[in-house]
């Protein structure tokens, strides 16, 4: 292969970049030409890109105490009629949706990223705020977005928050201009190259309707979007997530035992996607702790997690 034409080398690289990691590692021993090609930066980037396109599955990490003991894709449960894993009171489930193959996790005061397809793992420096993970298409690099409060005054509805960005493989944070509205101190969701947060309703200007902050990772510009036509009353909890590649707002009503999921279409219009009635599954599944993780594309069942148990809900 070392003496092959550039066109032949390019064709071989294109084919090999789509093979599994274990297969490529065995081919690494074939000859010096293949070894040089497989270990080149260009090939590694191409293989990572192909692996990331195939790896879109939400990943669940199981912890016993503060130690992880299993990492499994959600498809293991929603695509098969098998029994859900038994989870004891010492187990905690933490989930993460991949962003171009890379997953970001926060647990027990630690932040880290990993790629299950390539076994890449990186512990991140300690950060006191909230982290989000995005992807810059132009540079083909992952970006971390960090938000941290410096001041909070609920009485005066005043605040000061710092917004920083950095590439995952860099060590230096760059401060960026803040959005027009303060975002809630919770992890954002990533959909189609953009990060989305709920607006924090306890600070700043009051709005009669929910608002969403959108960050285009490539341009590093924020935009405020109208949320679903519903308010957040006492006894309710609001969160933002991704289901079926759509931005969703989850409205959990504690006293009524109901979770209502609103989905945003490409046009910015909102509609109710699911109504989850949890009252008959109480107290194990309550609106306070239950989060929808994924929807089975075959039968529409919704996989739910309380952080301690997994369960299906058939709408």
Q: What is the pLDDT of residues 118-144, one digit of tens each?
A: 677 888 877 777 888 998 888 888 899
Q: How far apart are CA 48 and CA 43, in angstroms?
A: 8
**Number of domains observed in the structure of the chain:** 1
Is 1 within the bounds of a domain? no
Q: What is the pLDDT of residues 173-204, one digit of tens each?
A: 888 888 888 888 788 999 888 999 998 877 76
CA distances from 201 to 154, 209, 249 (A): 11, 10, 15
Is 174 within the bounds of a domain? no
pLDDT of residue 288: 85
Is 18 within the bounds of a domain? yes
- Given a cut of 90, is residue 59 above it in pLDDT? no
pLDDT of residue 101: 77
Q: What global pTM score does this model have? A: 0.75
What's the average model confidence in pLDDT over 221-246? Answer: 84
Q: What is the pLDDT of residues 259-311, one digit of tens each?
A: 999 999 887 899 999 999 988 887 788 888 888 988 887 788 888 888 777 78
What's the average model confidence in pLDDT over 57-82? Answer: 61
- Given a cut of 80, is residue 37 above it in pLDDT? no
| CB-based contact 144:124 (threshold 8 Å) | yes
User: What is the extent of the structural domain holding 13?
Assistant: 6-45
Is 55 within the bounds of a domain? no
Q: Of the segments 53-57, 77-81, 101-105, 226-230, which one has the largest average pLDDT value?
A: 226-230
Q: Of the segments 47-61, 105-119, 263-277, which one has the largest average pLDDT value?
A: 263-277
Q: How far apart are CA 259 and CA 291, in angstroms?
A: 9
* CA Rg value for the chain: 22
Is 20 within the bounds of a domain? yes
Is 11 within the bounds of a domain? yes
| CB-based contact 310:94 (threshold 8 Å) | no
- Given a cut of 80, is residue 38 above it in pLDDT? no
What's the average model confidence in pLDDT over 237-247? Answer: 89
Is 35 within the bounds of a domain? yes
Q: What is the pLDDT of residues 89-99, one digit of tens each?
A: 566 666 677 78
Is 10 within the bounds of a domain? yes
| CB-based contact 295:276 (threshold 8 Å) | no
């Amino acid at each position: 292969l070392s003496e092959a034409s550039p066109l032949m080398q390019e064709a071989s690289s294109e084919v090999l970049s789509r093979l599994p990691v274990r297969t490529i590692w065995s081919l690494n021993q074939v000859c010096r030409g293949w070894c040089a090609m497989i270990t080149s930066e260009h090939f590694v980037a191409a293989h990572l890109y192909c692996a990331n396109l195939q790896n879109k599955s939400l990943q669940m990490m199981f912890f016993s105490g503060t130690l992880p003991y299993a990492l499994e894709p959600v498809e293991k449960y929603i695509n098969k009629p098998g029994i859900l894993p038994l989870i004891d009171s010492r187990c905690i489930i933490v989930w993460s949706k991949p962003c171009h193959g890379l997953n970001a996790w926060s647990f027990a005061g630690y932040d880290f990223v990993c790629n299950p397809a390539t076994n890449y793992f990186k512990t991140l420096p300690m950060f006191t705020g909230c982290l989000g993970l995005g992807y810059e298409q132009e540079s083909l690099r992952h970006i971390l977005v960090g938000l941290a409060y410096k001041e909070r005054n609920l009485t005066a509805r005043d605040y000061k928050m710092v917004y920083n960005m950095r590439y995952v493989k860099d060590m230096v944070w760059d401060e960026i201009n803040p959005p027009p509205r303060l975002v809630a101190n919770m992890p954002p969701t990533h959909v189609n190259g953009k990060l989305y947060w709920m607006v924090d309703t306890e600070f700043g200007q009051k709005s009669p309707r929910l608002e969403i902050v959108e960050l285009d990772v490539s341009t590093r510009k924020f935009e405020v979007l109208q949320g679903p036509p519903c308010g957040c009353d006492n006894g309710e909890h609001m969160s933002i997530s991704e289901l079926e590649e759509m931005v969703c707002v989850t409205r959990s009503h504690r006293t009524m035992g109901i979770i209502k999921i609103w989905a945003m279409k490409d046009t910015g219009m909102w509609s109710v996607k699911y109504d989850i009635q949890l009252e008959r599954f109480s107290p194990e599944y309550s609106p306070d702790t239950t989060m929808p993780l994924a929807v089975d594309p075959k039968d529409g069942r919704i996989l739910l997690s309380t952080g301690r148990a997994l369960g299906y809900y058939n709408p």
